[in-house]
């Protein structure tokens, strides 16, 4: 699959724990975006990285952090998890950082916090 | 505040009927607007974008700045159009897409 990949598909954990979600962008894409989709909030932009550097930030909680590595894969770290963090987390990638670059989405990671 | 509103959670139409999926936005500048679609068991994907003035799979969307709307239209719905549709706004060309909550389109045979 040459598209955006995300692991794991599902994650179940307990409150207070820490998890790491992983995203591999499409081959050649330099930008990675993270979104959170919860039942009551819809899809919300969290953060964007371009070629290893943070480019844009949305309403990302301080308990959440992300990074993009030299091989361009990205990780989203969620710590001190709360019940309300249960959601689908999507990663998207695009070739560059222009507006006109279409964002290609991954299949998502479903996080359940018990 | 920048916001995208899709007032209908579900829109059910019969095959061959016209479709209009509503999208209203709140943004004081010049908006860049998009429609994304998610078919069953598939990924979220771009359907069309305002700046391209394109028609994809028979769908069009016109930006109405006076009404702050970007409704998605298709004259004759097909069963394969059944999917979840999301309207999205990029305020100030920032790449920070703001999505609406989505409308599920169900096209009945």
For residue range B45-99, list pLDDT tens digits in order: 999 988 777 888 999 998 998 999 999 999 999 999 999 999 999 887 777 889 9
Mean of the pLDDT values across residues B97-106? Answer: 94
Does A99 have pLDDT greater than 80? no
- Compute chain B's Rg from CA coordinates: 13
Share of chain A above pLDDT 70, in %: 95
Asked if A39 is an interface residue toward chain B (Cβ–Cβ < 8 A), one would say no
- C-alpha neighbours within 13 Å on the C-beta side of residue B48: 19
Nearest-CB residue to B93 (from A42, A43, A99): A99
pLDDT at A82: 96
DSSP A72: S
C-alpha–C-alpha distance, residues B30 and A82, integer Å: 37
Q: At A34, is the pLDDT very low, low, confident or very high (cuts 50, 70, 90)?
A: very high
Q: Taking the alpha carbons of B19, B21, B22, B27 in that order, is the dihedral positive or negative?
A: negative
| pLDDT at A18 > cutoff 80 | yes
What whole-number distance in Å separates Cα of residue A45 and Cα of residue B89? 11
* Residue of chain B nearest A43, judged by CA positions: B99
Average pLDDT over residues A28-35: 94
Cβ of A48 and B96 within 8 Å? yes
Q: What is the pLDDT of residue A39?
A: 79
pLDDT in tens, A76-89: 999 999 999 999 99
Among A45, A100, A105, the residue with its CB nearest the CB of B98 is A45
Residue B59: its pLDDT value, please?
95
> Is 90 exceeded by the pLDDT of residue A97?
no
Cα gap B107→B78, rounded to integer Å: 7
Between CA B74 and CA B91 the distance in angstroms is: 26
Which residue, among B25, B44, B102, B104, would best test binding to A if mutated, counting the most A CBs under 10 Å from its CB? Answer: B44
CA distance B6 to chain A (A): 11
For B8-41, write each residue's pLDDT tens digit: 999 999 999 999 999 999 998 888 899 999 999 8
* Cβ partners under 8 Å of residue A47, min gap 6: A33, A34, A54, A56, A57, A58, A60, A66, A76
Q: Which residues of B touch A110 (CB under 8 A)?
A: none
CB-based contact B90 A106, cutoff 8 Å: no
User: In angstroms, what is the C-alpha Rg of chain A?
Assistant: 13
Residues in chain A within 8 Å Cβ distance of B95: 31, 33, 48, 55-56, 94, 97, 99, 103
- Chain A hits for B40, CB-CB cut-off 8 Å, are none
User: For residue A48, is pLDDT > 70?
Assistant: yes
Cβ–Cβ under 8 Å, residues A35 and A88 = no
């Amino acid at each position: 699959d040459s598209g955006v990949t995300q692991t794991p598909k599902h994650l179940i954990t307990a409150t207070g724990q820490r998890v790491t979600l992983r995203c591999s962008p499409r081959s050649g894409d330099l930008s990675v975006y993270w979104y959170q989709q919860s039942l009551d909030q819809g899809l919300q932009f969290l953060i964007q990285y371009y070629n290893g550097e943070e480019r844009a930030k949305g309403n990302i909680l301080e308990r959440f952090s992300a990074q993009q590595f030299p091989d361009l894969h990205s990780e989203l770290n969620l710590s001190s998890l709360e019940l309300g963090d249960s959601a689908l987390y999507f990663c998207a990638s695009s070739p560059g950082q222009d507006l006109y670059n279409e964002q290609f989405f991954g299949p998502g990671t479903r996080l359940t916090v018990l | 505040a920048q916001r995208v509103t899709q007032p209908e959670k579900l829109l059910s139409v019969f095959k061959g009927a016209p479709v209009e999926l509503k999208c209203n936005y709140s943004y004081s500048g010049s908006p860049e607007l998009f429609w994304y679609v998610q078919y069953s068991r598939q990924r979220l994907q771009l359907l069309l974008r305002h700046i391209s003035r394109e028609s994809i799979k028979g769908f069009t969307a016109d930006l109405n700045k006076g009404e702050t709307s970007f409704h998605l239209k298709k004259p004759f719905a097909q069963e394969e159009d059944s999917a979840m549709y999301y309207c999205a706004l990029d305020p100030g060309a920032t790449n920070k897409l703001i999505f609406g909550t989505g409308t599920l389109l169900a096209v009945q045979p």
